[in-house]
Structure 1
């Protein structure tokens, strides 16, 4: 775990002492957009863009899902970093980075901005033509994959115009209380900060359980980006967040609606291949030594997401 300071890698954990024991996530540093306008600085072109991801990271996971479901595998190439994030941050296996030949992800960041200061995160979307980072903001990358590639993409629209206001509203609550909420609980260094995050997390999970007992999906009668944003947290919950992050009021597997909802989404063709629980458990338990000093990876905790569900009965 670390960050770049003036282009130099530093192995530093989060400074929660400066924020009352509360974890505060850094804003993404690169926020450019791919467009279907040929005059754009970043026009939609097959083979031009390269995505760096980790199977372990929920933020990167959502980009892999949308890339797969929009049929962009041959349009946007990908490099997968290893599960370990130790003294040099995210590690890249030899030969796994065809663009830079980098061994660590921070080297890709400094290739774009040699004096960068900030956290080195996945996902990262690289432009091979201009030689820089387009975006490292997952929520914006999935929207680019959803709509920016025009005829190069296929599959459903995950951000339909008629539902955007509702999607944005539910995304806001889920991001704050669930997606980032598990980290706010797990990385808290005071009891008050932990209690606040824990209580907000389970209030929202209780609300989602009630909502999803009556609706198959979060918004409308189709899968939207809101579902994929929630899914990548829920699919990790029992294996990691329940124990490692002390989010232990209940497991998702012990619920009715949420458990079925996760299995429903997991069984969408193309999604199961993006879920690597081996990478997920190895990353959190081996890399986050401030929380788990011994680096011991526990056995168990995984649900069988291929089990049948009855979610179709809600439609």
Structure 2
């Protein structure tokens, strides 16, 4: 997703615009169908990262292809500058905005990732990032891999939804509220809300391996995509600097546990994350200099969270390795 805001002192994320759903029961004009759609993401973006992880865990790679926009974009939108000829090889577009305007020729809203594009028409079907991953879990079940985990178990949905809402307000979007605040009071409020929530989450996770139940759920996916970016960009670039993640023992161990779980760390490209935040947000970082740190080797150190029990995939199994074209550079 691209960070856009109102003219107010406090950061307010503009709502996404193309929020139709892709459904299995024919209740929308976009039916679930293998090979019909392409999921467009960017490695840099936490909101897109959620869909990459869920797609991996559920094994949807054979039925839902993935296009990867590069970390840099301009006023024309996310662009495919890492692909041959600077175009997505399936959609044939240079800028994601082209697919938005095919869906709506007069479109003037934010061009965000993730976006699901109908391949034949080249039109964005949805950019509803909050619903997308839930629909991958509940609408695409006919195409889940054998052993796919249940990331949105019915008996825990109310609890997952409650946690997700709090995490979204104070953590996922909270770091942006800090980074893009236009006044001290707004920044102070967002900063306190962020670290109050992180403290509460740390207390919750001190005695349980995962946020809800004893398995990985949608709640863990949504929290983790912010935590994994915390020290690389949010601590310094967004002034979220009370502590680094590596200085918060419970959350650091929890984050390493998931990083070392298939489907999580193998979706992360720290270099692209840094290139995006430090290279695109010129109002915050006008020099465009991308920092060399932090040292990433800590992500591979033992976390000890197995002692809390829990079954990461429930009755399921880990996903296999990602497709060759979707692999990220290993930490060395």
TM-score (norm: length of structure 2):
0.87
Partner of 2:190: 197
Is 1:152 aligned to residue 143 of structure 2? yes
Match of residue 200, structure 2, among 203, 207, 226: 207
* Matched position secondary structure for 1:56: coil
Distance 1:113 1:199, change over 3 A: same
Q: Deviations over 1:248-306 (max 9, x none)?
A: 00011111110011111111113222101010000000111000000000111244322
Matched-pair contact (CA < 8 Å) for 2:178–2:190:
yes
Q: Distance in 2 between matches of 1:181 and 1:188?
A: 10
Partner of 2:282: 289
Q: Deviations over 1:160-193 (max 9, x none)?
A: 1100010011111100000000000000010011
Matched-pair contact (CA < 8 Å) for 1:80–1:96:
no
User: 1:133: Cα distance to partner?
Assistant: 2.0
Matched-pair contact (CA < 8 Å) for 1:285–1:297:
yes
* Matched position secondary structure for 2:182: coil
Task: Spell out the pairing of 1:1-315 with structure 2 (5 A cutoff).
Answer: 14=4, 16=6, 18-19=7-8, 21-37=9-25, 41-93=29-81, 94=85, 96-129=87-120, 131-154=122-145, 155-303=148-296, 304-315=298-309
Greater Cα offset, 123-132 or 203-212:
123-132
Matched-pair contact (CA < 8 Å) for 1:143–1:159:
yes
Q: Distance in 2 between matches of 1:87 and 1:30?
A: 19
* Matched position secondary structure for 2:88: coil
Partner of 1:10: none
Q: Deviations over 1:197-255 (max 9, x none)?
A: 00100000111111111111111111100000000000000000000000000011111
* Matched position secondary structure for 1:118: coil
* Matched position secondary structure for 1:239: helix
Q: Distance in 2 between matches of 1:15 and 1:122?
A: 16
| Unpaired stretches in structure 1, ≥5 consecutive residues | 3-12
Distance 1:265 1:35, change over 3 A: same
TM-score (norm: length of structure 1):
0.91
Partner of 2:316: none
C-alpha RMSD over aligned residues = 1.8
Q: Distance in 2 between matches of 1:14 and 1:39?
A: 31
